[in-house]
Structure 1
């Protein structure tokens, strides 16, 4: 398949397994490596480490840089993912659509009904790995996806997510709606994004660890509307269901450093599964 964007599969390792959606859902085992689910015009790529752990880390990347674009598939989260969990990093299939599409919020496109298919894919992964819990992580648009796809029993750890897309930069949205949904004009794009891109209409489930840079307009445009819907404070705190971390990580839309994110994720893993046991403790049960 000749895609309109540059691809590079080799940089993610030698093992690349390609399936249709039906073939993937029929698998009886899941090997570690690069898993491609082929939709024809686009692909859903998953970078998998199956450790047969009781929980899985799902990582969703942010938008590609407006200055430099990397080949697809594109992944983020390897530095943050804890070795105690299975690891599944997800590449947004909308990045295959066109060079101008640098973000799609993991909401799919006309070729790939991702909001319908991804929950089934994640359920299948959990069944094949033996996992019963999930920690979903993401920066910016990846944080949006982590919130959207979390279940009641899950934890989402998000950095500066977009929760109300109509409050985001229209110039970043339009290439995705134009090439992904055949909606080139402003009005149809606005109504479309208002319908599918507002987390207030389908509030996130599970425990939410929300990390927000204080020097980002997302404080008022994204955090505040979601907090009002959830009935939680915009002041730092943790009520068990919603934990808000407000940080000073630089001017603008800047996430916490990787080591800070690692520590936040590690704390949530311990909260979810308990302290990690040493070898002899595991041996004794």
Structure 2
């Protein structure tokens, strides 16, 4: 059995053809599209399940790398598999992907940073190590909403994952939705905290790209939004994104304090690290991941402006919010109530009627908070959170869903 592949530069499709002189009518073949990028382990990008067809075509995701196809053969349903592996091809040209409406592909960072106007649509920056993906809507506003994704339910595809599409339609501000490139690159990975991988120090690099888009959109204020794992990224990047207020929902405040198996999944996918008896703190530190927010803030010497929403019945309340406050040195006299202000720049909003466990607040509350922030630039002023505390309480108390649930 032999396998050959057909690929034309600039056409994002690859086809495998199997030659099998010993083939019988009942024989079945399956195909895996694989990619090897830099120092990372190969990842299974897509699958063509068993059938009697001896050829299969795949669409190549907008990610540079060495691609190859593995073909598996089953002579009978209960027989052992045999397999054959194709040659590798390097894919770096995605010219045909520019054809669909509102899709923009940049061959490298130089082309991206030379761009001074970003049209509405999905933008891909194809770097050697990763592909950065942004969904942009320019409403020509001074405030921009930037959304970072939480853990994703994977369906085996390599499409970028954006969250906040619905929110962006209900607010006045321009929006930039950002896909996590580590999750985009590995169809089996559910969460990457926007913390990068072995090929890319994303925590250093990503702010340059987001800030360039913000500058091109003429945005002077940023609402940085994320939930859970995306909430961690929101709290982290709020120190590096232009004039940002973080709006974080049930966030992790230390990656090492999250579900260990998901952290090890991330380390395996992104750093080729197998699970061991070593502490997650030490392993993350070894790979230069900024994984804990309080030490990071203390090194910077300041606390960004944060609106921190936390469900009271979520285990994140004790493990992340209270840990976060105590680590910041907050003298907590009593349990945080509906809206509290700490250190002049940290609102906490604790919900007791949102549902059981790790569930977000009603969407109406999030929309109301975004509208409040985008409608009042004073929140960005030096003492803006202090002066606007009563107004923030009114917004939370006045949310229709919250008010109804309190009755």
TM-score range normalised by the length of the shorter chain: 0.7 to 0.9
Which whole-Å CA distance do the structure 2 matches of 1:256 and 1:70 have between them?
Answer: 29
- The residue that corresponds to 1:80 in the other structure is 167
- Superposed, 1:31-42 pairs within 5 Å as 31-40=119-128, 42=130
- Encode CA deviations 1:87-120: one digit per residue, 9 max, x unaligned: 0000101113433311000111122321111111
Quote the Cα distance in structure 2 between the aligned partners of 1:70 and 1:261. Answer: 29
Query: Normalized against structure 1, the TM-score is what?
Result: 0.85
Q: Does 1:156 align with 2:246?
A: yes
Give 2:273's match in structure 1, choosing from 161, 175, 183.
183
SS at match of 1:62: coil
Q: Name the residue aligned to 1:101.
A: 189
Q: Which residue in the other structure is 1:235 paired with?
A: 336
State the secondary structure of the residue aligned to 2:323.
helix
Are residue 266 (structure 1) and residue 360 (structure 2) matched?
A: no
SS in structure 1 at match of 2:45: coil
Alpha carbons of structure 1 residues 231 and 189: separation in structure 2 relative to 1, 3 Å? closer
Distance change (3 Å), C-alpha of 1:79 and 1:120: same
CA contact (8 A) 1:60 1:142 kept: yes
For structure 1, the residue ranges without an aligned partner over 5 or more in a row are 275-285
What SS does the corresponding residue of 1:263 show, helix, strand or coil?
A: helix
What aligned pairs does 1:268-283 form with structure 2 within 5 A after superposition? Answer: 268-272=373-377
* Paired residues of 1:37 and 1:45 also in contact (CA < 8 A): yes
Q: Which has the higher strand share?
A: 2
- TM-score between the two structures when normalised by the length of structure 2: 0.61
Once the two structures are overlaid, the 10-residue window that deviates more, 21-30 or 212-221, is 21-30
Contact 2:172 2:371 in 1 (8 A): no
CA shift at 1:37, angstroms?
1.3
CA displacement at 1:153 relative to structure 2: 3.4
2:151 is equivalent to residue 63 of structure 1 = yes
Distance in 2 of aligned mates of 1:126 and 1:98 = 28
In structure 2, the partner of 1:206 is 304
Aligned to 1:281: none
Deviations 1:118-160 (A, max 9, x none): 1111221121111111100011011111111113832111110
> Relative CO higher for 1 or 2, CA cutoff 8 Å, sep ≥ 6?
1
1:224 matched to 2:328? The reply is: no
Unaligned runs of 5+ in 2: 1-11, 13-32, 36-43, 47-59, 63-96, 380-407
The answer to whether the Cα contact below 8 Å between 1:18 and 1:35 also exists between their aligned partners in 2 is yes
Cα distance in structure 1, aligned partners of 2:61 and 2:368: 31
Counterpart residue number, 1:18: 105
Of 133, 142, 155 in structure 2, the residue corresponding to residue 45 of structure 1 is 133
Aligned to 2:213: 125
Moved segments of 4+, more than 6 Å: 7-10
Separation in structure 1 between the aligned mates of residue 305 and residue 164 of structure 2, nearest angstrom: 19
Paired residue total: 271
Bigger shift: residues 28-37 or 194-203: 194-203
Greater Cα radius of gyration, structure 1 or 2: 2
Distance in 1 between residues matched to 2:327 and 2:281, nearest whole Å: 21
Contact 1:166 1:190 in 2 (8 A): yes
